Amino acid sequence: MSDEMIQAQGQVSDLQAEVKRLKEKCEDMEGRMRRGNIRVSGVSEAQGSSTPEAVSSLLKEVFRLDREVRVERSHRIGPVSNAGDRPRVIIARLNSEGDAEDILRRARSGGGQLRYRGSPITVFPNYTTNVVQARAAFTEVRRMLRDKPGVRYGILFPARLRVTHNNVEKEFVDATKAMDYVKKIILFPREDGEQRLN
């Protein structure tokens, strides 16, 4: 029985490692499949507002493009909204990953809020659920760093926070460690250079 138990434990460990590997592979494959996708939020739910033609027209107007962006397919996600609810997000698959990257780059570097027919909208990547949750863990840290002089920060794919302060660059995959660093080194540094412990 003891030998069988040891053998079974080894098999369980092997299976756990295999499941972990397969989950990571599936996550990677799903992420790659979404590279040509974008999400658009804030567009009112008028009839036909989420068709590929409507999304293509929206992108051309919002980003003042001199060409049409081909949208293969698009749809809204979530349950149908009631009157007064926030409009559902549109997911659009663009014809090429290059177009998606260009649109997302323009959205990030726009220097202000995007507007479509008088309403504010946002355009952002279509990450997997796991990536979205991992990136969201850094929300509070990013809020604390906002508008701090001499500090630059950003989220790298899939979910790494890069912080540059006094020409020192740090990267974090753990939001708790990032928060500790920001509090001790950036927000509440000791004048004698010693890290604050509380």
Do the beta carbons of residue 71 and residue 92 sit within 8 Å? yes
105 and 53 share one domain: yes
C-alpha to C-alpha distance for 81 and 90, rounded to whole angstroms: 13
83 and 98 share one domain: yes
Residue 62 CA, chain-centre distance (Å), reads 21
119 and 63 share one domain: yes
Residue span of the structural domain in which 150 resides: 131-187
Quickly list DSSP for 73-102: EEEE-SSPPPTTSPPPPEEEEES-HHHHHH
69: CB partners within 8 A, 6+ apart: 56, 59, 60, 94, 95, 99, 103
Helix (H, G, I), strand (E, B) or coil at 174: coil
Inter-CA distances, 75 with 98, 104, 108, 122, 150, Å: 21, 18, 23, 16, 42
120 and 138 share one domain: no
- Walk along the chain (198 residues) and give the pLDDT tens digit of each residue: 888 888 888 899 999 999 999 998 998 888 888 889 999 999 998 899 999 999 999 999 999 999 999 999 999 998 876 777 889 999 999 998 899 999 999 998 876 689 998 899 999 999 888 888 999 999 999 999 988 888 999 888 888 999 999 888 999 999 999 999 999 988 887 654 444 444
The structure's pTM equals 0.69
Residue 134 CA, chain-centre distance (Å), reads 9
73 and 100 share one domain: yes
How many helices, marked H, and strands, marked E, lie in the chain?
Answer: 6, 8
Q: CB burial class (10 A; 0-12, 13-18, 19+) of residue 69?
A: buried
Q: Is residue 48 part of a domain?
A: yes
Phi-psi map region of 49: left, alpha, beta (phi>0 left; psi -120 to 50 alpha): alpha
120 and 181 share one domain: no
Q: Is residue 197 part of a domain?
A: no
Q: Is residue 194 part of a domain?
A: no
Do the beta carbons of residue 135 and residue 172 sit within 8 Å? no
The number of folded domains in the chain is 3
59 and 101 share one domain: yes
Query: What CATH number has the domain bearing residue 145?
Result: 3.30.250.20
